[in-house]
């Protein structure tokens, strides 16, 4: 019907299914409720038909001079039952519609949270939000009243057409020519409604993305005096959404006309052809009148069906945008890894990490970040990764966590390729502290237990102490349960980092990966951070991307990175003696300004 190719390449094994099939797959799960609701609504309508009969009864009763009690009781019952059915039926259908939305949302949520890091790098959060909220909402009407209404109308039309064929084949042929005309026009118009809806939903998504973009750097936007500029961008997106919506309405209106005109032409033709046939005696007047009445009666269902089909296009547009996300690659286990006896997961003590001639690039059209990295870090102790900004240090951590696969070579944990590890086990043994903004909206406690939901109060207390957060907890109005703002905006950089470290430690990791922030710590903080690392290194393998001389000099092993290669490995003293780049870095306190 329309272009169903997802915006992203989901790989040859995942061909996009037709949106109509998907819509049906979702609606089918709630079909029972939908049918019950539809049946009740229908019954409510039938009960309404009884009212005139009772009215006749009332008149008879009156003229016979009998008591009105009986007919009035009937009337009361009919009003109550009819009213109840007419309320309950649509209500049940709305529930079914909401259920469909819920099913779709759950599927989408499951996908979104498990997307690959590489996918998220390219996607816009605001647009994803709008797919989850706004697009799914479009499905509600479609999945409830549209389906039932459309099916009812279609049956009535089929019945009417059957009757026509039975009444008079010649007039039937004339009418069918018009039906064919309507069909052709609908085939032309319907995809256009769908495309216009996709465009208008996309414009909504863009608006969401623009808003997200502003709030993710709100202080910078304000400080740059960029409010006017950003407002203009948002308003442009809102205007686009309006224009696209109008365009969809245009095609919908045209669909209405396209259905109406041929039916009226059919009316005239039937009158003309039928009149001639009646005059020549080939047909009786009664048949012609019956035929015309049928045609007249069918106008309602026909415009109803066209309206349903238009609504269906909206639903298909929504499904299209939802499915685009559903078709993105999520973090799939290799089958053999999922089944694997995770002997490694039960291992205890510090984990071993190995890089064996690893090359890596973030995407095929990007240059290589690693050109053959080899190093090992085993057992307890502190390994420091140092090197100029952009040398590929943070990328080392991403490969260990398997956020991305190595392009060639092997990254191993406990001697096993990370690709062979069950993902949950692999990440379960690692505590990872990101380079920046490692705090989420919520309370301090929520932030801490994120990686260890079943941590006890005393364990939390311990890490608070270890990460030197006691003072902060005492200062906050509600202690551990205080909210710390979107991305932890109410904390200082050093506090944020220690919260992230505490979170990682609460997991009791066998491997701690710590990406030092370049410039967030004062001297006192720096000293205590160093102590936290050294304490952890007593029983854990700690690898730290180090920007500070004090961290580096305490390391058991230093790996010097330069332009995607390991340039040298050794202790501080060894490297100062042997490596020129290291000497320079050390002389500048290793602080690598970005």
Binding residues vs Mg ion (CB under 5 A): 394
> In the complex with ligand ADP, which residue's Cβ is closer, 135 or 515?
515
Minimum distance of ligand ADP from residue 368's CB (angstroms): 9
Q: Which residue is nearest to Mg ion (CB)?
A: 394
Q: Collapse the DSSP code of 558 into the 3-class scheme (helix H, G, I; strand E, B; otherwise coil) and give the result.
A: strand
Q: In whole angstroms, how close is the CB of 555 to ligand ADP at the nearest point? A: 17
Q: What is the rounded CA–CA span in Å between residue 521 and residue 517?
A: 8
Q: Which does residue 391 bind out of Mg ion, ligand ADP, none, counting CB within 5 to 8 angstroms by kind?
A: ligand ADP
Task: Name the residue nearer to Mg ion (CB basis): 463 or 590.
Answer: 590
Q: Where does residue 63 fall: left (phi above 0), alpha (psi -120 to 50 degrees), or beta otherwise? A: alpha
| CB contact at 8 A, 536 and 508 | no
Task: State the nearest-atom distance from the C-beta of 515 to ligand ADP, in Å.
Answer: 7
Residue nearer to ligand ADP on the CB measure, 469 or 546: 546
Ramachandran bin of 270, using left for φ above 0, alpha for ψ from -120 to 50, beta for the remaining angles: alpha
Return phi, psi of residue 383, to 5°: -105, 130
Which residues ranging from 335 to 364 are in contact with ligand ADP (CB under 6 A)? 362
Closest to Mg ion by CB, 315 vs 392, is 392
370 or 510, CB closer to ligand ADP?
Answer: 370
Phi, psi angles (nearest 5°) of residue 370: -110, 135
Q: Which does 473 bind (CB under 5 to 8 A by kind): Mg ion, ligand ADP, none?
A: none
Residues in region 36-95 near ligand ADP by CB under 6 A: none
395 binds, among ligand ADP, Mg ion, none (CB under 5 to 8 A by kind): ligand ADP
If the CB atoms of residues 362 and 486 are measured against ligand ADP, the closer one turns out to be 362
Shortest spacing between CB 546 and ligand ADP, in angstroms: 11
For ligand ADP, the binding residues in 365-404 under the rule CB under 6 A are: 366, 369, 387, 389-395
Nearer to ligand ADP, 225 or 367 (CB): 367
Q: Give the residue from 536, 176, 582, 147 showing the smallest Cα distance to 380.
A: 536
Contacts (CB under 6 A) with ligand ADP, residues 122-151: none
| Residue 250 vs 368, nearer CB to ligand ADP | 368
Partner from Mg ion, ligand ADP, none binding residue 390, C-beta < 5-8 Å depending on class: ligand ADP
**How many residues are there in the chain?**
594
Least distance from C-beta 514 to ligand ADP, angstroms?
Answer: 13
Residue 420 exposure: Cα atoms within 13 Å on the Cβ side? 13
- What is the footprint of ligand ADP within residues 474-513 (CB under 6 A)? none
Whole-number minimum distance, CB 35 to ligand ADP, in Å? 49
Buried b (16+ CB within 10 A) or exposed e, 389-404: eebbbbbbbbbbbbbb
Of 576, 587, 531, 577, which is closest to residue 554 (Cα–Cα)?
531
Instruction: Collect all residues with Cβ–Cβ distance below 8 Å to 188 and sequence separation of at least 6.
Output: none
Side-chain half-sphere exposure of 237, counting CA atoms within 13 A = 18
Residue 514: contacted member of Mg ion, ligand ADP, none (CB under 5 to 8 Å, by partner type): none
> 10 Å Cβ neighbour count for 366?
8
Residue 224 C-beta: closest distance to ligand ADP, Å: 23
Q: Residue 90 is encoded by which pair of tokens?
A: 């649509």
Cβ nearer to Mg ion, comparing 125 with 390: 390
CB of 125 to Mg ion, least distance (A): 22
366's contact among ligand ADP, Mg ion, none, with CB below 5 to 8 A by partner kind, is ligand ADP
Of 455 and 501, which has the nearer Cβ to Mg ion? 501
> In the 8-state DSSP scheme, what is residue 468?
T
Q: How many residues bind ligand ADP (CB under 6 A)?
A: 12
Residue 406 CA to residue 396 CA, distance in Å, equals: 10
- 340 versus 361: smaller Cβ distance to ligand ADP: 361
Q: How far is the CB of 358 from ligand ADP (least distance, A)?
A: 12
Please say whether the beta carbons of 353 and 540 come within 8 A. Answer: no
Do residues 358 and 402 touch, judged by C-beta distance below 8 A? Answer: no
* Token couple for 30: 């709630």
CA of residue 523 relative to chain centroid, distance: 43
121 binds, among Mg ion, ligand ADP, none (CB under 5 to 8 A by kind): ligand ADP
C-alpha–C-alpha distance, residues 426 and 48, integer Å: 65
From the CB of 518, what's the least distance to ligand ADP, in Å? Answer: 9
- The b/e string for 330-364 (b: 16+ C-beta within 10 A; e otherwise) is eeeeeeebeebebebeeeeebbbbbbbebebbeee
Within 10 angstroms of residue 53's Cβ, the number of other Cβ atoms is 11
> Rule CB under 6 A: which of 197-216 touch ligand ADP?
none
Check binding of 591 to ligand ADP (CB under 6 A). no
Q: Which of 191, 139, 151 is nearest to 27 (CA)?
A: 139
Residues 60, 121, 227, 538: which binds ligand ADP (CB under 6 A)? 121
Minimum CB separation of residue 389 from Mg ion in Å reads 7
Please say whether the beta carbons of 302 and 261 come within 8 A.
no
The DSSP output letter for 30 is: T
Cα–Cα dist 565/578, whole Å: 17
> 3-state DSSP call for residue 507?
coil
Give the nearest distance from C-beta 561 to ligand ADP in angstroms: 6
* Residue with smaller CB distance to Mg ion, 41 or 398: 398
Closer to ligand ADP by CB, 60 or 584: give it: 584
CB 535, min distance to ligand ADP, A: 25
Residue 332 to residue 329: CA distance in whole angstroms: 8
For binding to ligand ADP (CB under 6 A), which residues are involved?
121, 362, 366, 369, 387, 389-395
């Amino acid at each position: 019907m329309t272009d169903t190719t997802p915006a992203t390449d989901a790989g040859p094994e995942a061909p996009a299914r037709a949106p109509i099939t998907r819509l049906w797959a979702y609606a089918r799960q709630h079909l029972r409720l939908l049918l019950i609701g539809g049946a009740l609504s229908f019954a409510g309508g039938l009960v309404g038909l009884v009212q005139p009969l009772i009215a006749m009864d009332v008149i008879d009763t009156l003229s016979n001079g009998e008591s009105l009690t009986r007919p009035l009781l009937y009337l009361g019952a009919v009003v109550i039952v009819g009213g109840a059915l007419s309320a309950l039926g649509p209500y049940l259908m709305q529930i079914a519609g909401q259920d469909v939305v819920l099913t779709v949302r759950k599927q989408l949520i499951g996908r979104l949270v498990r997307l690959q890091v590489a996918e998220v790098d390219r996607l816009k959060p605001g647009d994803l939000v709008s797919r989850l909220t706004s697009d799914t909402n479009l499905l509600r009407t479609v999945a409830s009243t549209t389906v039932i209404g459309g099916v009812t109308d279609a049956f009535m039309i089929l019945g009417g057409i059957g009757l026509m064929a039975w009444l008079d084949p010649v007039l039937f042929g004339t009418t069918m020519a018009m039906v064919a005309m309507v069909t052709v026009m609908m085939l032309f118009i319907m995809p256009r409604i769908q495309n216009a809806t996709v465009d208008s939903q996309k414009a909504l998504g863009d608006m969401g993305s623009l808003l997200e973009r502003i709030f993710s750097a709100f202080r910078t936007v304000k400080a740059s005096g960029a409010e006017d500029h950003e407002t203009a961008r948002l308003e442009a997106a809102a205007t686009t959404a309006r224009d696209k919506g109008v365009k969809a309405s245009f095609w919908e209106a045209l669909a209405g006309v396209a259905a109406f005109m041929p039916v009226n032409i059919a009316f005239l033709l039937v009158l003309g052809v039928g009149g001639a046939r009646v005059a020549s005696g080939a047909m009786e007047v009664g048949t012609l009148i019956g035929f015309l009445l049928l045609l007249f009666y069918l106008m309602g269902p026909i415009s109803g069906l066209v309206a349903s089909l238009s609504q269906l296009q909206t639903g298909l547009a929504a499904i299209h945008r939802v499915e685009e996300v559903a078709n993105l690659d999520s973090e799939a286990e290799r089958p053999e890894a999922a089944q694997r006896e995770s002997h490694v997961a039960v291992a205890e003590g510090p984990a071993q990490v190995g890089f064996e001639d690893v090359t890596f690039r973030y995407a095929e059209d990007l240059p290589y970040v690693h050109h053959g990295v080899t190093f090992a870090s085993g057992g307890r102790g502190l390994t420091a990764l140092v090197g100029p900004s952009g040398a590929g240090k943070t990328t080392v951590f991403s490969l260990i966590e398997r956020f991305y696969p190595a392009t060639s070579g092997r990254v191993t944990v406990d001697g096993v390729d990370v690709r062979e590890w069950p993902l949950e086990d692999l990440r379960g043994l690692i505590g990872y502290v990101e380079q920046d903004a490692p705090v989420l909206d919520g309370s301090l406690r929520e932030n801490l237990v994120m990686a260890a939901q079943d941590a006890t109060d005393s364990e939390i207390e311990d890490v608070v102490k270890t990460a030197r957060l006691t003072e902060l907890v005492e200062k906050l109005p509600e202690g551990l349960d205080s909210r710390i703002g979107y991305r932890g905006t109410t904390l200082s950089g050093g506090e944020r980092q220690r919260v992230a470290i505490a979170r990682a430690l609460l997991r009791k990791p066998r491997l701690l990966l710590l990406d030092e922030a370049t410039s967030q710590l004062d001297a006192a903080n720096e000293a205590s951070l160093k102590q936290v690392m050294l304490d952890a290194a007593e029983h854990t393998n700690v690898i730290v991307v180090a920007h500070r001389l004090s961290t580096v000099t305490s390391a058991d092993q230093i790996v010097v990175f330069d332009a995607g290669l390991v340039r040298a490995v050794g202790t501080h003293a060894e490297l100062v003696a042997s490596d020129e780049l290291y000497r320079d870095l050390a002389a500048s306190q290793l602080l690598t300004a970005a």
